């Protein structure tokens, strides 16, 4: 008797399974196909992205090598890469272009173009914060010898906080700009910050001590 009930129960389960499949089978197949296509699409996109990054990396390395060799074609290659806008290598290309502008600057107009390029990088929220800080530092130092003190301070002062890894260089830039502008108090503040910071590099501390002695002697540039 139990065998009969088992057979009936099995028949009912088969009927239910058939009914369920007839009702929902097409949806299940469609859903499975969507998943398969999505995985395939993701793998294709990931592979495409990898190949594109590899190609950009090769282009960047080639352009940098050409720029170092003084070849003018390098600037065109860097510009083309920089125009891609997103990704690590386009940002690196923009930094290299700004560096080339700084290297080739022969007058105030040339330096202004280089400063503008670094300022643009410093204001670009799409690149890492540390990179933006480097851009601020580069722009500030380009102005140390020829720019107004306020322009140097505006770019370097955000970098002098105790947490900033660029605070040592930023303080030195501010001190030099203040010295050139005849701002003894600001030069003293920046130099003393360098000397009192236990993490200041020894070479930088020595330069700060020498300049501090000059400032205290009263031999400071006149604005």
Q: What pLDDT, on a 0 to 100 scale, did the predictor assign at position 149?
A: 95
Same domain, 99 and 137: no
For residue range 183-206, what is the model confidence (pLDDT) as tens digits?
A: 999 999 999 999 999 999 999 999
Structure tokens at 173: 């830039």
- When mean pLDDT is compared across 60-74, 87-101, 176-190, the lowest value belongs to 60-74
> Looking at the domain assignment, is residue 65 inside a domain?
yes
pLDDT band of 103, cuts 50, 70, 90: confident
pLDDT band of 81, cuts 50, 70, 90: confident
We report the CATH number of the domain holding residue 119 as 1.25.40
Mean pLDDT of 25-37: 54
Rounded CA gap, 72 and 97, in Å?
12
How deeply is 211 buried, as exposed, middle or buried, from its count of CB atoms within 10 A (0-12, 13-18, 19+)? buried
| End position of a domain, from candidates 48, 77, 104 | 104
| End position of a domain, from candidates 74, 104, 134 | 104
Rounded CA gap, 100 and 68, in Å?
10
In this predicted structure, the answer to whether residue 49 has a pLDDT above a threshold of 70 is no
Same domain, 32 and 60: yes
> Looking at the domain assignment, is residue 185 inside a domain?
yes
Q: What pLDDT, on a 0 to 100 scale, did the predictor assign at position 16?
A: 55
Same domain, 116 and 218: yes
Domain residues for the domain of 100 are: 12-104
- When mean pLDDT is compared across 65-79, 105-119, 193-207, the lowest value belongs to 65-79
Same domain, 120 and 79: no
pLDDT band of 91, cuts 50, 70, 90: confident
Q: What pLDDT, on a 0 to 100 scale, did the predictor assign at position 219?
A: 62
Q: What pLDDT, on a 0 to 100 scale, did the predictor assign at position 76?
A: 74
Q: What pLDDT, on a 0 to 100 scale, did the predictor assign at position 71?
A: 61
> With contact defined as beta carbons under 8 Å apart, do 198 and 168 qualify?
no
> Looking at the domain assignment, is residue 4 inside a domain?
no
pLDDT mean across residues, the chain: 78
> With contact defined as beta carbons under 8 Å apart, do 118 and 142 qualify?
yes
> Looking at the domain assignment, is residue 7 inside a domain?
no
The number of domains in the chain is 2
Same domain, 119 and 162: yes
């Amino acid at each position: 008797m139990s065998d009969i009930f088992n057979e009936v129960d099995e028949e009912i389960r088969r009927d239910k399974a058939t009914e369920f499949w007839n009702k929902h089978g097409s949806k299940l197949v469609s859903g499975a196909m969507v998943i398969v296509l999505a995985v395939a699409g993701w793998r294709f996109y990931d592979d495409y992205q990898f190949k594109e990054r590899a190609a950009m990396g090769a282009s960047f390395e080639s352009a940098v090598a050409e720029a170092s060799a003084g070849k003018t074609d390098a600037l065109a290659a860097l510009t083309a890469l920089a125009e891609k806008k997103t990704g690590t290598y386009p940002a690196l290309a923009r930094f290299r272009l700004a560096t080339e502008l700084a290297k080739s600057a022969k007058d105030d107009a040339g330096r202004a173009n280089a400063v503008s390029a670094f300022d643009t990088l410093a204001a670009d929220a799409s690149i890492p914060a540390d990179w933006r800080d480097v851009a601020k530092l580069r722009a500030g130092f380009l102005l140390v010898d020829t720019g107004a003190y306020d322009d140097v301070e505006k770019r370097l002062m955000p970098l002098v906080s105790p947490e900033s890894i660029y605070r040592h260089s930023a303080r030195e830039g501010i001190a030099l700009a203040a010295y050139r502008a005849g701002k003894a108090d600001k030069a003293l503040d920046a130099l003393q910050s360098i000397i009192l910071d236990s993490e200041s590099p020894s070479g930088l501390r020595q330069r700060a001590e020498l300049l501090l002695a000059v400032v205290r002697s009263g031999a400071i540039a006149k604005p």
